[in-house]
Amino acid sequence: TRCFALVPAAGSGSRMGSEQPKQYLSLLGQPLIRHTLAALCASTRIERVYVVLSVGDQEWDRHDWTEFGDRLVPLFCGGASRADSVLNGLRSIADDTAESDWILVHDAARPCLAPWHIDALVRELIHDEVGGILAVPVADTLKQADGSHHIAATVPREGLWQAQTPQMFRYVMLKRALESARHVTDEASAIEAMGLRPRLVRGDPTNLKVTYPLDLHLAEWILQHREG
């Protein structure tokens, strides 16, 4: 079975408080997304890496992507939400994929993806019926807030996991799931809404999503201190 990666990179990054979409912020002197794409393109488990950019993306063509050769394919078809961007991407690669191909959807904003993250996910799921996601057990105690920032309830953290990406599902199943559940923040919830139960594959917290300015510093530190 073949595995393809699909990277939604059509967000505006409003929580970063910067003009530049976060996928293009500088990380160790390179656009953040270059680290993400390099990790995926370097994996022998992945045939090709599709990156979904916004239709009006002005930045992509200012950079040189030739080092990735034809393993990297840009698609200018981003949508209003992450789920729309993924679905548009899936639709536009229909002719190049088979029903049973695996799609690894990975956030552009997770530049610290390591080879062992991809290996663990693919190894665990390649023979699975449904697929699954990388995730880490929740470390903090969680509080449910009421309308005035008082604690309404404490959510026991036992059995709770933080979802990461890649999220790995079969091409046709994922497309069908996203077509019927548009308002989801990840692929797994669309699959869950079809009554299926994706697997949790334990990753680690270094695969962080760059959301706030501090995350950029953490990501640089992680990349600089990684062995190998």
- Could you tell me the smallest distance in angstroms from the CB atom of residue 10 to ligand C5P? 4
Q: In angstroms, give the least distance from the CB of 227 to ligand C5P.
A: 26
In Å, how far are 72, 89, 168 from 132, measured between CA atoms? 24, 19, 5
- 72 counts as binding ligand C5P under rule CB under 6 A: no
- Residue with the closest Cβ to ligand C5P? 11
In terms of CB distance, is 56 or 228 closer to ligand C5P?
Answer: 56
CA dist., res. 69 & res. 66, Å (int): 5
- Among 63-71, 104-112, 147-155, 189-197, which window interacts with ligand C5P (CB under 6 A)? 104-112
Out of 31, 78, 132, 203, name the contact with ligand C5P by CB under 6 A.
78
- By C-alpha distance, which of 92, 106, 87 is closest to 184? 87
Judged by CB under 6 A, which of 3, 6, 16, 23 binds ligand C5P? 23
Can residue 109 be called a binding residue for ligand C5P (CB under 6 A)?
Answer: yes
From the number of C-beta atoms within 10 Å of its C-beta (0-12, 13-18, 19+), residue 54 rates as: buried
The conformational region for residue 28 under phi > 0 = left, psi -120 to 50 = alpha, else beta, is: left
Give which of 115, 117, 166 is closest to 7, Cα–Cα. 166
Least Cβ distance, residue 106 to ligand C5P (angstroms): 8
The torsion region of residue 19 among left (phi > 0), alpha (psi -120 to 50) and beta comes to alpha
Please report, as ranges, the residues that interact with ligand C5P according to CB under 6 A: 8-11, 23, 52, 78-82, 85, 107-109, 209, 211
